[in-house]
Structure formats: structure tokens, C-alpha cells
Amino acid sequence: MTRRHESPTEHAVPGRFAGRTAIVTGSTRGIGAGVAERLAAEGANVVVSGRSEAAGEAVAERIATRHEGESGDDRTGDATFVRADMRDPDDVAALAEAAAERYGSVDVLVNNAGVQTETAADEATLDDWEFVVETDFRAYWLAARAALEHMDRGAIVNVSSNHAYATMPAHFPYNAVKAGINGMTRSLAVDFGPRVRVNTVVPGWVEIERTRDELPEGRFEEVESIHPAGRIGTPADVAGAVSFLASEDASFVTGAALLVDGGRGAVMQDDVLPDYRAREGSE
């Protein structure tokens, strides 16, 4: 089976977010960068953020260059990079302020920044706990609260993980936090509605740098084979789901969690599955 490496902008809806401003946390690479590029391709002015200035500036420059090439019309948006450590409440507040100051408002917030430790519940330290909880959980709340101050009507999309539903050993407290994000989404939706819709996108396996590093040779193909979709995901897959949830096409969707996992959530037992890649190749 041919592995899919589509651009995050391949299925963009021109003008979908024209004149709107989106903040994407943790968007210097991986899923976040893909989301930032997709929203910009649909007309949003995007604030790219993260801790790596070099990587963040590169993403923003890539988007801004595309914007300039479109003669400044509403088909693509502009981008700027704002450095932010999501563990620092002052940085989180400054990120929303910078977006509003540069572009006049905040219309979309995508909470994506995340870290994890390879620790079991009986091995994790308080430092591990604080590192993950402050980055992956507390920052989502702080960013939502900060963005709300600059929102008239808008949308927040929190990026969770299929670890919220089923998990593996030595992923604590990452797995607990991801389940918490789904609960936070419901809380924010109830408290922020109807002014702001809040939803969660729940990715499964996605081919990014960290995933490739985690899967030894041969294991990548094995993981692909147990997905009913016949492959693992890409940042483009997640970006498309985020774009939908942030758009007016989802105007009656709030407090929801959208699973984007190639069908893995439908699987009960791996050893009864066919090789879905081989099945597709025979058709």
C-alpha cells in the first residue's frame, strides 16, 4: 500500500475563515503545524506558537509566503510567530494579547501543545506530574480563558488523544490528562456557550517525528496493518477535523469529542483482524 503524505492544505476550503484570527498552540511542528497551515489556507490569520523560535518562525514564514503569493486576497491568511511556554501563565495570557493586538480579535483557539513522559503510575514523580499536567491540561484552561477575553463569537478546539479512552503501560499521567481534556471541553462548552463553542478532536496514531521515533523498524508497518483505514493518520487528517469543528459547518456542535483514529476505536481484539493493507491492495 502506498503511504499517504498529503499536504495539510490539500483539501482546504477557500475563504472558510476569511478575516478571522486563529491561535494554534504547540504549532512549531507536527499536528500543530499542520493545523496552522490548514487554517491559514482557508483564510485565517494564524498565530503560531511554541517554545522553539527557529521552528516557529519557519512555520509562520511558510504560511506568510503563501499569503503573499496569493496577492493578499482572502484565499489565504497571514501568520506570525509568538513564543510561548504554555507552563507559564504570563506567556499564555500574552499570547492571546499578541493575537488581538496584531489582528484585532481572536476567533479560533486550537489548544494543541502537549508533552508526555514514559512513566507508569507507580513510577511517575511529582516533577513528571507537574510537567505534563501544567502543559497539557492547565494551559488549555488558561489559554481558553485568555482567548475568551478577546472573542465576540468563536470556537475552541482542544486536541486530546485516543489515550483518553484506552491506553498502554507507562503513559501516565499523559493518559489521565487526555481523559481530563475531554471533560474540560464539556465544562467549557457549558460555561462559554452560546458565545463560544468548545469541542475536542481525539487523534489516534499520527505519523509525526515522535511517532516514528517510538516505532522500531518493522513496527510501523505492523501498526498500519491493524487500522481499518489501512494506515495510520497524518497531520492533515487531524487538521481537517479541527477545521470542521472550528467552522460554521459545526455551528450546532459543542461539548463533543470527534475521534480521528482510522477505526482503531472500533477494534476489540487485534489478533482477530485481517491485514487491512493487504485487503486494500487486492481490490
Catalytic-residue membership of 165 = no
Euclidean distance between CA atoms 238 and 159, whole angstroms: 9
Euclidean distance between CA atoms 107 and 47, whole angstroms: 11
| Bridge partner list, 147 | none
Give buried/exposed letters for 126-153 (b at 16+ CB in 10 A, else e). eebbebbbbbbbbbbbbbbebbbebbee
Contact 169, 120 (CB under 8 A): yes
Q: Catalytic residue among 103, 140, 174, 276, which?
A: 174
Give buried/exposed letters for 9-29 (b at 16+ CB in 10 A, else e). beebeeebbeebbbbbbbbbb
DSSP H helices, 42-137, are 53-69, 89-103, 126-133
Contact 39, 47 (CB under 8 A): no
Q: Which positions are annotated as active-site residues?
A: 174
